[in-house]
Structures are given as C-alpha cells and as structure tokens.
Structure 1
Amino acid sequence: MLSKLFHSFVGLSFEFKEHTITSCGVVSILLAATFAISCYAWFIKKPTRSTPPLPPGPRALPLVGNILSVEPNLHRYFAKLSQIYGPIFKFYLGRKLCIVIGSPSLAKQVLKEHDVVFANRDPSAAASVLTYGGKSIGASPEWPKLRQVLVRETMSNTSLNSSSAIRRQAV
C-alpha cells in the first residue's frame, strides 16, 4: 500500500495553463520553501534565549576559537581587547569560553564581593596537576579534621615544651 502511495506521489504532475510541474519540480519547490523559512527563522526572527547574553568579544573560528589571533604578550593583547570591547569581554580558547575581566575594580568585585555567585569556575590545569586531580590532602574533605589534629597534638603547650630542648640545639 505504501509503495502505491509513493509511486502516486512521485508520479504527480500539475498543470498550470501551459506549464507542467513534475515531481522533481515539486521537490525543488519544497526545498526552496524550506530553505526560505529556515533563513527567515535564522536571520530575521531571532530566537528568544533563556540564558542571559554574553559580553562582547572578538569573533571566533569554529574549532580553534581565538587562539590564532593571540599575541605573545597576552596581557597587552587583553588590554587592547578591553579598549575595544570594554572591561568585560568573552574570548574562546579552542571551544572553551573564557570571560576576561580587564579592570582591577571589577576583578575585586567578582572575586571578593560576589565570590559565591562565580564559584562554579573550572579548576585550573595547574591546580589539577599540583593536587593530582584534586586527590591531595589539601583538597580532600578530611583536611579540616587533619588540621585540627595537627594543631591539637603538635602545637599544644605540652608538646612544644617537651620539644624545646631539641629546638634550642638546632638554633
């Protein structure tokens, strides 16, 4: 039954006065209409976003981002970009979005006053290497307990008095 329906659709031809439109013409018209509607939806009618807009920044290439435009002196390059785009701008390192804050007062506001809001930043690669992927003692949940034991056992008055002779010999 489906094959009969398909053959009847493919074999369609419409006649308009002296012109005949075959199934190939119908498919072409449907593709052109789909393309026109897509262009309208993409360029003219902008979709509403549920996320707030990103700050301005230089245009990025699809896979490499802005890596190809980075200059050797990164701080001077960011200063030049902050003069163009303002004190806060976006910058893509590959496919990773970075928000650059080029003003000391804004950096203080973000990192000190609103630190809870911006605490979801990714850990840096250096911090990940130094803590063995977050598995060192300082990054573990047991660290506060270990610090309390250290302070209570080794820094108490009795332990400091008992080791005072050893410390005097060292000095």
Structure 2
Amino acid sequence: MSKTLEKEFARRRREKGWTLPETARRLGCENRNKGCRRIIEFERGESELDEATRERLAALLGIDAEVMERIRLREEDALKRAFEAWRARPAKNQFYYRAIPCLYLRQDIPDHLQTDEDVITFARCFSRERGVIAWLYLGRRERLAMRNGEVTWRRPFTWRNFREPDFGVQIR
C-alpha cells in the first residue's frame, strides 16, 4: 500500500467529519477499539488492512478503484524515478560478512580485482576459508549471498526491491 493512498483514506474520513469510533461502527467492526486501532494504524502506514476490509472502507469513504489505481501508478512511477536516480550514482563493490551472530563486518575488496568474476571469486574464497555467511554488492547492479563459499542466491537490483545495504554499526 502506498503512503499517498493511506493519506487519501485519512483525508476523506476527516472531510466527512467521522471520528475513528464512528468509522469503525460504519465499517461493521464488532470490537470498536480494535477497529479504531486498525484504521489509525492503516492511515499512519504502520500496518495493512485485509483486502475485504480495505475495499469496504474505500466504498464507505467514496474512493473508487480508479482513484486507487491512479494513486498506485503515480507512486510506482515515483519509485521507479527514485530507483533510477539511485542506480545512476556511482558505487563501489561492497562485501560484508557475519563474524558472529549479530556482528556484521565490512571487508575491503583488493583494488587489483577489476572484473565482477574476480570479485565474486575473492568473496567466495573469503567465505569458504572463514566458514561465514557473506553478502556481496556489485555496485548498484546486483547482490549475492553466500555461505561457506557457495552462492546461495544472486539477485539484480530492481525498482521493486531496492534498498541500500544497511548492516548497522560497521567495525573496521
């Protein structure tokens, strides 16, 4: 669900002048407290409503499928543009490994390794020698996970799954 659509639900509810308990009652929630909590968490973007409840709420607020689809497409286009801007920025290859549970370290990749195959071979050897779980980010193109030197998955970055690597505190 998109933040814009959630904001649209909240805006329409406020325009109608409905309080949360009144909206929960109109929605047919037997437990009004639970209904209020679900609605407010949905409007804040903290959780999702099941599809049937979301459709009932949309009908109640006068939000038709065309409006929801238009907002979804606008959000998708914005996400694609943000992804392309992120991907256009130059980035070095990055290699992380799990030293012990909950401790992830970054390992420098030697400068003399130029091709992706060389970098992958280095990462696999490192992972095999130390018997660790590791992640290799090939610029902003692709990411790999490995365990004990074997690549467990290899995925390209796409606009649907992109996020910058974040391993919390990195000790060098």
Q: TM-score range by the shorter chain?
A: under 0.3
Higher-Rg member (1/2): 1
Question: Does 1 or 2 have the higher relative contact order (CA < 8 Å, sep 6+)?
Answer: 2
